[in-house]
Amino acid sequence: MTTNTVELHRVFKASAERVYRAFVTPGAWAKWLPPHGFIGTVHEMDGRVGGRYRMSFTNFTTGHSHAFGGEYLELEPGKRLRYTAAFDDPGLPGQMQTTVQLRDVFCGVEVRIVQEGIPAAIPAEACYLGWQESLELLGKLVEAEIRD
C-alpha cells in the first residue's frame, strides 16, 4: 500500500510548554487542528502514553464529517509527542503516525512535525495545505498573550 509523508517546520513566539499543551488539551486541539472550513470535535482524549483519542472534522459548508482516532506513543512535556491515527472511513486505510518535536530557541519554540503513513488517497499537497492552515491557527492560539 502506497502512503505519503509530510514534514513541517515552524517557529512560534511562544514557549515549548504552551505549544505542547495545545496538542494535549481537548478544547485547544479542537480549536486549532481542523483546517480552514472545518469544525473539530474531540470525542475522547486520554493524554497519557498508551491512552487513546478520537476526533472528527466536520465540513462547515457541506456538513460532511470524517472521524479518526489513535493512541499516544510518546508524551514528553515541552519536548516531544508521538501518536498514531486511523480514519474510520474504509476508503482511507492504514495507520498514520505523527511525531512532534519541540525545541526552545532564543525567540520562542521551534516545532518540527513529521506525519507518516498518510493514505495514498490524500495527496501530499493537500496534507501540506491542511497542516499549514492548522499551524496558522496554532500560532494564533499559543502566541496570544492575554492576561486576566
How many whole angstroms separate alpha carbon 77 and alpha carbon 74? Answer: 10
Q: What is the pTM of this model?
A: 0.94
For position 23, what pLDDT does the model report? Answer: 97
Residue 49 in grid coordinates: 502514553
What digits encode the pLDDT tens for the residues 21-40? 999 999 999 999 999 999 99
Give all domains of the chain, ordered by start, each with its CATH number.
Answer: 3-142 (3.30.530.20)
Q: CB of 82 within 8 A of CB of 24? A: no
What digits encode the pLDDT tens for the residues 64-85? 999 999 999 999 999 999 999 9
Residue located via cell numbers 505523527: 98
